[in-house]
Amino acid sequence: MRGSTPTVDPATWRYGGNTPCLELTAPDGTQFILDCGTGLRMLGRRWSKPEGKSGGETHILVTHYHWDHIQGVPFFAPLYAPENAFHFYSFRSKYLGQDSLKQVFEAQMAMPYFPVDLSAMASKRKFNEVDGGQSFHVGENKITAQWLNHPQGCLGYRIETPAGTVVYATDNEPGDKILEENLRELAAGADIFINDAQFTPDQLATTRHGWGHSSWKEGVRAAQDAGAKTLVLFHHDPDSTDRAVDTILRNARDEFDSVFAAGEGMVITLGSPGDHVQAHLPGTRTALRREAQFRAKVSGVTEGGKPFEEETLVRDLALQGALISLEHAPRLQSELLVTMEAPGSDGRQQMVLRGYVVRTEQGAEKGHSAVGVVFTE
């Protein structure tokens, strides 16, 4: 979800620093991957775990050939396994000609840039050329590609599944009438609209004008025009700290009902039509987690809009968020304040964490909900 180049700066750890790579599983079981940024390596690691997927076919939609969208390819272990088959989709670049993406593979693994060449990749690979305006079917899903406004071209993808429609529109800048229209056509009525939000509206109007990216404000505008239901802010600037992304998210939320800022490991599930979209961070259960019980006071607003305060124990705490058991059912996407007591050198100290509700589910304890919180500043 990070744009342009990966980041390892601790100030970006919460949202994460991998460049674009998303996994989408359709109700019919069709497996899609959207873009091949550095996140692809971790996706490959997850698949290679015993409980992960092995063998089978995967459809990989690539938006364009900038480094941040292809650089995960050589590090995607499933590409080296003969039992796997991949169908790649991307456009014919005028700089590369026929089989553009295949050439990208070869170039990335050419000597002396990588220790092994393409012959080490034993999986079956098929390369399909797509053009803007084109539609095709994979299983029960319809995919439509559209050109977006970006240097050397970029495709946005609309994926219509029986569970709902997901639109992936990274790397695009407003300012071209026809391409702005494309974006809205792509996003029309989408359940999930993932859009470039790299810059602030101010940067976009001044120093970053013409760089090929967008802002949260333009994303909100496009989502409103297109009647999209949930907006996901994506392609965060490598120079944006977590705090900067928090501010971008808060600004967008002030103007649009349902907004998420893409974060490392975030999972969004489409429920029944009309259900609110929920997200969660399965990573919080394994990564950087400390077995502990913190006494905490949690305050927020309920589904009905009533403020509440409640004491509980936080058992599942990570850098990005927490899973908290509550009697109250807080409203999705509302802000939650978690005040924890921690023993300090001079008695007890308070730690106040601010977050927003991304998920509520029936908890293990009777009468309690398990509430997933993503921390902001």
Residues making contact with Zn ion (CB under 5 A): 3, 66, 68, 171
Helical residues (DSSP H) of the chain, grouped into ranges: 39-47, 67-70, 100-108, 177-187, 201-205, 216-226, 242-255
CB of 4 to Zn ion, least distance (A): 6
Query: Count of residues for the chain?
Result: 377
Cβ–Cβ under 8 Å, residues 59 and 126: no
Toward Zn ion, which CB reaches closer, 261 or 332? Answer: 261
CB of 311 to Zn ion, least distance (A): 44
Toward Zn ion, which CB reaches closer, 191 or 237? Answer: 237
Q: What is the DSSP string of 187-217?
A: HTT-SEEEEE--B-HHHHHTTTTTSS--BHH
CB of 94 to Zn ion, least distance (A): 16
Distance CA 24, CA 48 (A): 17
User: What is residue 129's three-state secondary structure?
Assistant: strand
Inter-helix orientation angle 216-226/242-255, to 10°: 30
Distance CA 372, CA 361 (A): 8
CB of 135 to Zn ion, least distance (A): 23
Distance CA 64, CA 36 (A): 10
Toward Zn ion, which CB reaches closer, 203 or 302? Answer: 203
CB of 221 to Zn ion, least distance (A): 21
Q: Which of 322, 327, 328 is nearest to 355 (CA)?
A: 322
Toward Zn ion, which CB reaches closer, 66 or 328? Answer: 66
CB of 128 to Zn ion, least distance (A): 21
Toward Zn ion, which CB reaches closer, 36 or 338? Answer: 36
Toward Zn ion, which CB reaches closer, 68 or 180? Answer: 68
